[in-house]
Amino acid sequence: MADETRRKSPEEQAEQRMREILRAAASWAREAPDALEPAIRAVCIRLAEMVADQRHYLAPLPEPQESERSAVLAIIAERLRAAEVTRGIEQHLQSLAELELRSTGSWSLVQGAQSQWIDTAIRYLEGCGRQLPEKDQPDPYWADDVVAGIIASARALIGVDELHARTEARYSGGIPRPVLPPE
């Protein structure tokens, strides 16, 4: 009984999130032709790595939660770079790096950096899709859908969904921001 209520260690939490990230990558890859699976997996892993590397830019939590979150995210970022995760997709990861897909922590805070990453990921996947025989090429907007899904999945799995709200609260000077009606 005591084991059921025991809090998971940062290593166990990171391992669980890693399994979920890799499962999400496989899930998004199922939506496209099999030949595109490695490229989709590479984009998913790179995005998850960048999100995990943002641990220094998150609004701080009270201790000991802050230390635990930082440790979990550091472990996730490190494991995403491990050979067992990148095996078979090294060429795609290198191609993404050459397209300057690696982004700084500003990715989470600066809209322009987010847009640049999204555009680069979409262009990369579209290019991979165009290399397939015409009959096997995915629909025109498949890459947009895959990248949007990967972003949502990685952020949720890593646990930075609240990032925008926390940053806004921290830097608004205590002044609540008005909620604008949808356009």
Per the domain annotation, does 176 fall within a domain? no
pLDDT band for position 21 (cuts 50, 70, 90): confident
Three-class secondary structure assignment of the chain:
CHHHHCCCCHHHHHHHHHHHHHHHHHHHHHCCCHHHHHHHHHHHHHHHHHHHHHHHHCCCCCCCHHHHHHHHHHHHHHHHCCHHHHCCCHHHHHHHHHCCCCCCHHHHCCHHHHHHHHHHHHHHHHHHHHCCCHHHCCCCCHHHHHHHHHHHHHHHHHCCCCHHHHHHHHHCCCCCCCCCCCC
What pLDDT is attached to residue 78? Answer: 84
Per the domain annotation, does 89 fall within a domain? yes
Per the domain annotation, does 154 fall within a domain? yes
How many structural domains is the chain composed of? 1
Per the domain annotation, does 179 fall within a domain? no
Per the domain annotation, does 72 fall within a domain? yes
What domain range is 88 assigned to?
8-170
The pLDDT tens digits for 24-54 are: 888 888 878 889 999 998 988 887 777 676 6
The pLDDT tens digits for 110-153 are: 556 667 777 888 889 999 999 999 999 998 888 988 888 887 77
Per the domain annotation, does 182 fall within a domain? no
Per the domain annotation, does 183 fall within a domain? no
Per the domain annotation, does 35 fall within a domain? yes
